[in-house]
Structure formats: structure tokens, C-alpha cells
Amino acid sequence: MKLFIEKIKKLSYDDKQKIIKLLSDNLYINDLDKYRSEHIGEKVKCTHCNSDKIVKNGSQNNVQKFRCKDCNKTFGLHTGTSIYWLHHKEDWGKFIELTLESKSIRDIAKELKHSNQTVFNWRHKLLSSLENIFQKEFKGVVEMDDMLVRFNQKGRVNNFKEGLRRKRKTKNKRGISNEQVSVLFTIDRYKAIDLRILKLGKINRFTLGNVLDKGLKSRLNKENVIVTDGCTSYKSCLNGFTHERLVLRKGQRVRGVYHLNTLNSYSRNFKNWIDYNFSSVSTKYLQNYLYYFKMIDFVLREKDEKSLDFLKTSLKDSNTFKRFHSIEDKYVKFSNQC
């Protein structure tokens, strides 16, 4: 060890910096393995069939590999996660730090010395890992309402919908139309949050019922009082729950402790955040940006080690890779509603 230190001392400043970077990069990769291992624990399950009959199967690029005795398929520690098949994993931690600062893709690419497309893909791999986090049960009064944002084909070349082309920041049609996207905001007074894209145009009981059945109802309970506006779709879908309707056209904005002020403030903050940091976002990636805002709000509000917590969260879900590659298919299915 002493001989090694003596040789290091004789190196030039630039060579010492290269060695420091090399050691720190390898350390960060090992940390990624460590955090992923902490999440899955000792009982590793197959990422293909969810079997727990697993044996170790060597390693590749210093990453542990496994083989499933049931389906006979192999997988690694990172399989399916946001860093699966990712080059330059040593930059993932720094990328998350810059993402938390809401830096633009160009700024991050310049700092990390990667292409804009690489950083863009990294962003949506990261955001695709956030779908199933912070699914807290709602408590007490729950505010529920839809927010409208304009349908946006930003950056799209193939399958561009000419019928929905319009000038920036303007609408071709008055009122609610399929030029707008309905986003359902659900929030309680303790800041448990759910944000989901519903459909093009005005919500209806079918799309609202579908969203409720696909996970949202499981976070509600009989003790909740759900506050909505006067839209009849909520009335028909919330049978079995205590439901307070505020009919705005009758001037019913507040009724005792029942109002939509918490939700309106949150949705306004989301719109301001989008306008300030990104100007606008494509509808294709809108759901990811809803996860992004929810995560940033939670991390900045409750966590001390913000970057580390975000980093650990990004390694939890082994379905991230599949979800990232299905974004286009989901978008095509959604946009065909019109």
C-alpha cells in the first residue's frame, strides 16, 4: 500500500484527477448494486415469472446474474430497472441531482457530456420508474377534480394528427374539445396525491369509472368524504362513498370545511412548474411529467437526502424498462380516442 501511495504522489496533477474519477465512478456503480440489492433483499424473485426458485449464475460486467429454475431464464441485478442496458451508469447519480433541480435536457447533456437524445431517454426511464411510488391511502376529506391541458404533439414527426394541429397557445374550438386533455387530480388535506390522464376532451363516467377501478378506489375508504364539482360523472361513479358536490354555477365554492382550494392550488403549481421549466410538454409524455412533479413535491417537502432518496427510488421497479418502451403504444391508443 505504501509503495502504491508513493507512486501516486509522483504522478502529474491530470493523472491524479483521472485516477480519482476512475475510483469514484466504480464506487458509484457499486452503490447502484448495493441500493438495488437492499430493495430486493435476500429473496430474489425472477423478473420473468416471479418465481423464488433462483440460483446464482455468475456475473457479467461485475453485476450478479441469476437463473430461474422454473422458467429457466436468466436475469441480472439490474434487469428491468431504469438502469438496465444503460451505458455510463457512473453518471446516473449526477443526472438525478440535475433532474431534481429541474434542469433542461440541453443543460444536463452539456454538463454530463452526453447527447440530448441520451439525456432525454434517461429522463423518461427515470420517470417511468415512478408509477407505483407513494401510493398512500387517502385520509379524511378528499378533493377530486379534472384539469384541462392542451393536446400537444411537440417533437412528433410520425403519425402527426393534422386534425389537431393548431397555433401555439391558441385553440381552434371554443369550450372543452378533443384539443384538450383531461387530467384527474385527487388530493387529501394530508397531501396524499394521485395524478392520472383520463381522456381527450370532457370526462365521462366510463373513463372516470375505469380509472377508479384501476387502483384509485383501493386508496379510498368509507371514512373519506369526497368533494367534487357539479359534474354528474362523479355522482354516478362514487356510489358507496360520502360525496359532497359543489355546483359552481350556483355559487357553491365553499360549504363548511368542503372546498377544492387545496386541489386548485396544487394544479396551479403544476401548470406554473411546466411553463417555467419546460414551456410545454408533449401529451405523449404528460403522465411521466405528472409523476415527476409528484416526486419532486414529495422529496423537497419530506426528505433530507433528496438525491439519494430519488436514486434509490429509481432502482425499485423491475418493470421500468418495459414501461418505458410501451410509452408510444399507450400514446397511440390514447390519441386515437379522437
- Provide the domain limits for residue 213: 141-302
Cβ–Cβ < 8 Å for 338, 178 = yes
The answer as to whether 322 is a domain residue is no
pLDDT, average across residues 77-99: 89
CATH code of the domain covering residue 179: 3.30.420.10
Q: Rounded CA gap, 251 and 158, in Å?
A: 46
pLDDT confidence bin for 117, thresholds 50/70/90 = very high
Most confident of 1-5, 97-101, 319-323: 319-323
User: Is 311 a domain residue?
Assistant: no
pLDDT at 214: 82
Within a 10 A sphere around the Cβ of 123, how many other Cβ atoms?
19
10-14, 205-209, 289-293: segment of lowest average pLDDT: 10-14
- Residue 264: its pLDDT value, please? 93
Report the C-alpha gap between 143 and 140 in whole angstroms.
10
Residue 6 maps to a domain: no
Three-state DSSP at 224 gives coil
Query: pLDDT tens digits for 280-309?
Result: 899 999 999 999 898 877 766 655 567 777
Banded model confidence at residue 22, pLDDT cuts 50, 70, 90? low
- pLDDT reported for residue 165: 60
What's the pLDDT tens digit per position in 302-334?
A: 555 677 778 888 888 888 999 999 999 999 888
136 within a domain of the structure (yes/no):
no
**Structurally, how many domains does the chain consist of?**
1
Taking CA atoms, 176 is separated from 24, 185, 201, 231, 298, in Å, by 53, 17, 6, 13, 31
Domain-embedded: residue 104: no
For residue 111, count other CB atoms closer than 10 A to its CB.
Answer: 15
Work out whether strand 180-188 and strand 193-200 pair parallel, antiparallel, or are unpaired: antiparallel
Is residue 245 within 8 Å of 264, Cβ to Cβ? no
User: Which pLDDT does position 24 carry in this prediction?
Assistant: 56
| CA angle, residues 12, 18, 21, in degrees to nearest 5 | 140
In a domain, 309, yes or no: no
Lowest model confidence (mean pLDDT) among 91-105, 171-185, 299-313: 299-313
> Tens of pLDDT along 211-234?
888 888 889 998 999 999 988 889
Whether residue 68 has pLDDT greater than 70: yes
Strands 242-246, 225-229: pairing is parallel
